[in-house]
């Protein structure tokens, strides 16, 4: 088969995959709207972040961070953001009324109705989403028709975890865009673009720490000179900002805050980690949670780390690296699923699609598309705020996320290892 025919088959395969995803997305959107009409919007809003305070908590990751970062004593408050993120919000805090920054905890919601705070939020969301949509459209446009690439990018911007992060106003939206730029353009022929991609990942890591794991792609590429430059940028954007605060003391405080935050979190379906499966095993099969944790966590993390260096497909390498920080309880909650947009775009654009790729497409759809909650009216006819574990029954996306993500990682690992075994066996026969 000549190169032109291969290119046509690749394009047709990718187009077909993209169109099937968009059909699933459209069906989900229609059913979600129908469910909202039957429940005055509650069937959807209750699948997002639940307020525990009797008022809406929308966008409060953004507003709380401005308030928390308003002074240099931020790490004494138990904040878990890296210093670059706190510097970002410290700058924003200087653009609003000081009384709002200094407001007591119970009055922090006043920021939601302040015009300047709203404009800062909308500006942040616009920049983050515009960058993400542009990068996905540009990457998808390398193989898909321009119109299809645009529709796909817009649909992915409305993925469930994206909507969840928008509702929270979480800085992870900007971190995603920067990380996506690195993955898509680290090997660009234009040297300045490749260098800018290193800086983008360093800034993304300065905001959220865990994107730094994607730097292992350069190790996988054996591009060690750029690894050293990335480490230098990482030091500049992750370590040096500590000295705006208390230097080494702030580093120690952040480490303690992260450990305390992780230990204080109770495992629920909001998490996408193996610990959710361990919790299910304890609840249903009465098995010991801690034993199940280690039996699931260690093999899955090892499989992801090994698969990065064994698999040939770019999207699988990126997925495995993303999985490594998704499977940590300190970061593995619903919002982290937005990083699946990066391997998903690469998945659609891979050179060849096999029959098993349809299963991968289905798993991606479960993790990214809103799963319609058409049973809300029967579960909660009065539309009251559900408490305790009952609230998760109205969140099908979160109930399915951990099993789907773990199944996907397992499938990738098994397929990669089996493929390597078959390839080696055939080579020995030859």
Report residue 416 as tokens.
């990669």
In degrees and rounded to multiples of 5, residue 333 shows phi and psi of: -110, 180
- What is the domain count for the chain? 1
Rounded CA gap, 143 and 8, in Å? 10
SS3 333: strand
CA 141/CA 151 separation, integer angstroms: 11
Three-state secondary structure call for residue 49: coil
* Sign of the alpha-carbon dihedral angle for 223, 225, 231, 232: negative
CA distance 322 to 215: 11
pLDDT at 127: 98
SS3 content of the chain, % helix, strand, coil (to 5): 75, 0, 25
**What residues make up the domain containing 320?**
3-429
Cα-Cα-Cα-Cα dihedral sign, residues 144, 149, 151, 155:
positive
Torsion sign over Cα 409, 412, 416, 417: positive
Q: Given CA atoms 236, 239, 240, 244 in this order, what sign does their dihedral have? A: positive
At 3 the pLDDT is 56
Regions of the chain short of the pLDDT cut 50: 1, 53
Sign of CA dihedral 205, 209, 213, 219: positive
DSSP 261-309: HHHHPPP-TTB-SHHHHHHHHHHHH---HHHHHHHHHHHHHHHHHHHHH
First to last CA, the chain: 23
Q: Per-residue pLDDT tens for 65-106?
A: 999 999 888 998 888 899 999 999 999 999 999 999 999 888
Long-range contacts of 122-125 (CB under 8 A, 24+ apart): 124/62, 124/169, 124/173, 124/174, 125/166, 125/169, 125/173
309/220 Cα distance (integer angstroms): 6
Query: Measured in whole angstroms, how far is the alpha carbon of residue 145 from the centre of its chain?
Result: 27
Burial 46-64 (b: 16+ CB within 10 A, else e): bbbbbeeeeeebbbbbbbb
Q: How many CA atoms lie within 13 A of 49 on its CB side?
A: 24
Q: What are the structure tokens assigned to 210, written together?
A: 């865990």
Q: Partners of 333 in the beta sheet?
A: 271
DSSP codes, 354-407: -TTHHHHHHHHHHHHS----TTHHHH-TT-----GGGGGGG-HHHHHHHHHHHH
The residue length of the chain stands at: 430
Q: How many whole angstroms from its chain centre is CA 306?
A: 21
Residues forming beta bridges with residue 271, ordered by sequence position? 333
Record the pTM.
0.94
């Amino acid at each position: 088969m000549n190169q032109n025919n291969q290119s046509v088959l690749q394009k047709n395969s990718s187009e077909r995959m993209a169109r099937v995803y968009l059909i699933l997305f459209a069906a989900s959107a229609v059913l979600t709207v129908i469910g909202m009409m039957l429940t005055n919007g509650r069937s959807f809003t209750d699948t997002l972040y639940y307020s525990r305070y009797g008022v809406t908590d929308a966008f409060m990751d953004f507003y709380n961070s401005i308030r928390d970062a308003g002074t240099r004593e931020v790490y004494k408050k138990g904040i878990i953001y890296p210093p670059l993120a706190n510097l970002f919000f410290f700058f924003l805090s200087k653009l609003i009324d000081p009384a709002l920054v200094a407001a007591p905890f119970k009055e922090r919601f006043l920021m939601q109705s302040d015009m300047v705070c709203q404009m800062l939020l909308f500006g942040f969301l616009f920049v983050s989403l515009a960058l993400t949509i542009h990068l996905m459209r540009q990457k998808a446009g390398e193989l898909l028709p321009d119109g299809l690439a645009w529709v796909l990018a817009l649909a992915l911007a409305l993925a469930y975890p994206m909507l969840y992060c928008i509702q929270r106003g979480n800085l992870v939206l900007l971190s995603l865009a920067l990380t996506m730029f690195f993955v898509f353009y680290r090997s660009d022929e234009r040297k300045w673009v490749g260098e800018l991609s290193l800086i983008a990942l360093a800034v993304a890591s300065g905001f959220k720490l865990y994107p730094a794991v994607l730097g292992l792609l350069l190790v996988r590429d054996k591009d060690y000179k750029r690894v050293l430059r990335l480490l230098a940028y990482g030091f500049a954007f992750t370590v040096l900002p500590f000295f705006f605060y208390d230097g080494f003391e702030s580093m120690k405080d952040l480490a303690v805050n992260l450990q305390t935050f992780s230990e204080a979190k109770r495992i629920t379906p909001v998490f996408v980690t193996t610990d959710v499966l361990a919790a299910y095993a304890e609840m249903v099969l009465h098995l010991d949670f801690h034993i199940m944790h280690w039996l699931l966590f260690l093999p899955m993390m090892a499989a992801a780390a090994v698969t990065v260096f064994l698999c040939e497909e770019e999207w699988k390498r990126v997925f495995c690296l993303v999985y490594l920080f998704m499977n940590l309880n300190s970061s593995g909650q619903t919002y982290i699923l937005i990083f699946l947009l990066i391997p998903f775009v690469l998945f659609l654009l891979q050179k060849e699609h096999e029959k098993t790729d349809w299963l991968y497409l289905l798993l991606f759809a479960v993790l990214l598309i809103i799963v319609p909650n058409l049973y809300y009216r029967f579960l909660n006819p009065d539309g009251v705020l559900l408490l305790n574990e009952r609230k998760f029954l109205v969140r099908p996306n979160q109930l399915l996320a951990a099993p789907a993500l773990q199944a996907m990682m397992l499938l990738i690992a098994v397929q990669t290892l089996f493929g390597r075994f078959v390839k080696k066996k055939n080579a020995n026969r030859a």
